Amino acid sequence: MKLSAESPLNVPGIRPVLLAQFFSAFADNALLFATLAMLKNAAYPDWSQPILQMVFVIAYILLAPFVGHFADRFSKGRVMMVANSIKLIGVIAIGVNISPFLGYSLVGIGAAAYSPAKYGILGELLPTKQLVKGNGLMESSTIAAILFGSVSGGILADWHVSTALLVCAIIYALAVMANVMIPKLDAARPHGNYHPKRLVDQFFQACQTLWQDKICRFSLIGTSMFWGAGVTLRFLLVIWVPVALGIQDNTTPTTLNAMVAIGIVVGAFVAAKWVSLQHAGKALPAGIAVGLLVVVFALETHLLPAYGLLVLVGIFGGFFVVPLNALLQERGQQTVGTGSAIAVQNLGENSVMLAMLVLYSVAIWLGATAVVTGVAFGILFALAITCLWLWQLKRKA
């Protein structure tokens, strides 16, 4: 297929970035379901499963003041390589029977370092007019990896958990190799005082700058709520399947998760085509639709309709989040630097994830059913996005 001259894929360095992101995200998602299967085989209680993700997001929160500067201090392709190497060490730690929570926390450290670099490098490689398209490609690569990684993790875990972990290690190694292929760019901010206290002060100054900016605040709130909702839905699927469908395997939840991934690929593509940075607010009604569809899904008791509903959840979700990501990158590059802006975004997203996971674990511990939890979660998400939409309309009026 002949590419347009305006295609981001024609920009040198973009293809290895997307390839590295695919491998890294593939292994991330396969590893989650393989480790969940390990917990299930060891008879851990249902409420303990989200704790696995909690140790992951806590790494993001604790490292938030430092990873943005790390991404801006060095060439971002090399930062991505180091981060994937840390993930590789984490999966090896899980595979040799060290605590899965400790090993997964190492993967979280690698992911925290990786995120500002993987998004920040788009702003350095691409002109502003191609950022939405570039983000669409990044999200499509990520979600395609979620699709194949989740399903592969579930299938392999049903067959043999140790084999699943070995595959994850191999894929992380491939991600490191792809990172080596990324051209070495100049560091965004190679000079400066990198004393830890100064970095913390600078990070909170960046937080203040971005949250005081109405456009950045709008993007930060929207993306944080979306990814907080996404991680909660993933764990909800794990307990919803045996209750609603009577299926006990590891493959079915991962297949349902893949349906969301398919939808997000479509939604990200549509957003890249139809939504500009100047009209990113048009994506907000799609977020409301996500919440309402989750309510309908939670009440479903048949597999095929559930597949269709989750594809729709993904389509509206992809359409919702891609313009907001691009908006923050463009605005962040003008203010505090792309790496620092993404680090601030990660703090917001992972703080919301942690809060939602805690609420989810408490609800399950108190005996709430998967159906009740799903309905409540969908309603609350739809109401939150509605409030954000009304605030954005009032701001523009």
Whether 2 is covered by a domain: the verdict is no
Whether 226 is covered by a domain: the verdict is yes
Look-up of token digits 């958990």: 161
Find, among 324, 323, 329, the residue nearest to 271 by Cα.
323
Whether 326 is covered by a domain: the verdict is yes
| Per-residue model confidence as pLDDT tens digits over 303-337 | 899 999 999 999 998 888 878 877 777 777 677 77
Whether 4 is covered by a domain: the verdict is no
Predicted confidence band at 168 (pLDDT cuts at 50, 70, 90)? very high
| Per-residue model confidence as pLDDT tens digits over 121-142 | 777 777 666 777 777 788 778 8
Give Cα separations from 139 to 158, 211, 300 (angstroms).
28, 24, 28
Whether 229 is covered by a domain: the verdict is yes
Whether 5 is covered by a domain: the verdict is no
Question: Same domain for 70 and 217?
Answer: no
Question: Same domain for 246 and 377?
Answer: yes
Mean model confidence pLDDT for the chain? 82
The answer to whether 396 and 281 have CB atoms below 8 angstroms apart is yes
Residue, of 6 and 162, whose pLDDT is higher:
162
Question: Same domain for 187 and 223?
Answer: no
Both tokens assigned to 120: 């920040």
Question: Same domain for 316 and 361?
Answer: yes
Question: Same domain for 150 and 248?
Answer: no
Predicted confidence band at 9 (pLDDT cuts at 50, 70, 90)? low
Whether 231 is covered by a domain: the verdict is yes
Predicted confidence band at 41 (pLDDT cuts at 50, 70, 90)? confident
* Domains in the chain, number: 2
Question: Same domain for 390 and 262?
Answer: yes
Question: Same domain for 182 and 233?
Answer: no
Instruction: Find the mean pLDDT for residues 224-234.
Output: 83
| Per-residue model confidence as pLDDT tens digits over 254-302 | 888 888 878 887 887 788 777 665 666 677 788 888 899 999 998 888 8
Question: Same domain for 180 and 317?
Answer: no
Whether 230 is covered by a domain: the verdict is yes
- Averaging pLDDT over each range in 236-240, 274-278, 338-342, which range is the top one? 236-240
Question: Same domain for 163 and 233?
Answer: no
Question: Same domain for 43 and 181?
Answer: yes
State which amino acid sits at residue 31: L
Find, among 134, 104, 129, the residue nearest to 119 by Cα.
134
CATH number at residue 303: 1.20.1250.20
Question: Same domain for 267 and 280?
Answer: yes
Predicted confidence band at 341 (pLDDT cuts at 50, 70, 90)? confident
State which amino acid sits at residue 315: I
Q: Which domain does 247 fall in, by range? A: 195-396
Question: Same domain for 218 and 302?
Answer: yes
Give Cα separations from 290 to 20, 231, 294, 381, 385 (angstroms).
29, 14, 6, 8, 10
Lowest mean pLDDT segment, chosen from 102-111, 311-320, 340-349, 365-374? 340-349
Look-up of token digits 């909170």: 204
pTM of the model: 0.73
Find, among 308, 307, 284, the residue nearest to 385 by Cα.
284
How wide is the angle at C-alpha 33 spanned by C-alphas 158 and 80, nearest 5°? 135
